[in-house]
Amino acid sequence: MADKLNIGFLDYSFIAIGGALGASFRFFLTIVFQNQKHLYSFELPPFPISTLLINVLGSFVIGIFYFFFSKGILANDSIRFFAVVGFLGAFTTFSTFSLETFVLLEKGNISTAMLYIFLSFFVCILSTFVGFNTIRFVYGS
């Protein structure tokens, strides 16, 4: 654990720059996808297709990086900090969730993976509900 805490300013800089680029690229793609009218056809209620596509893309790309890092093809921490932690972490935190779940399943930790999936979806959605309603109660309306 001590090794993971022993990262320097340059490493944090890679994470920050990657994060800024990832968040900016996510925003850019959201605008691009929202301007594709054929993605929003059939008179269906609004569906967050841009977020879904970004999450799928980010999960795909993080899978590629995981392969290269797990096989030792990429071993540079600076690349991992920039691309995985920074860029993909800001591009979509769902990609990180997907990778962590995949690794748990890959290592045979099925029950831990299922618990993580349950908590990530249901407890986080419940937390959003509670946070929203707490503030609504405090401020009224």
Residue-wise pLDDT for 41-75, tens only, equals 555 556 677 888 888 898 899 989 999 988 889 88
- The answer to whether position 111 is within a domain reads no
pTM of the model: 0.73
- The answer to whether position 10 is within a domain reads yes
HSE at residue 113, side-chain half, CA atoms within 13 A, is: 13
Q: How many domains does the chain have?
A: 1
Q: Could you read off the pLDDT of 11-23 as tens digits, one per residue?
A: 999 999 999 999 9
Residue 46: the pLDDT is 62
Alpha carbon dihedral 70, 118, 88, 24, in 10-degree steps, equals 180
- The answer to whether position 57 is within a domain reads yes
Q: Nearest-CA neighbor of 83 among 97, 71, 96, 100?
A: 96
How many Å apart are CA 30 and CA 32, to the nearest integer? 5
**Structure tokens belonging to residue 68:** 């290269």
- The answer to whether position 40 is within a domain reads yes
Residue 93: the pLDDT is 75
- The answer to whether position 16 is within a domain reads yes
Residue 1: the pLDDT is 39
Structural domain harbouring 68: 2-92
**Structure tokens belonging to residue 61:** 């790309």
- The answer to whether position 11 is within a domain reads yes
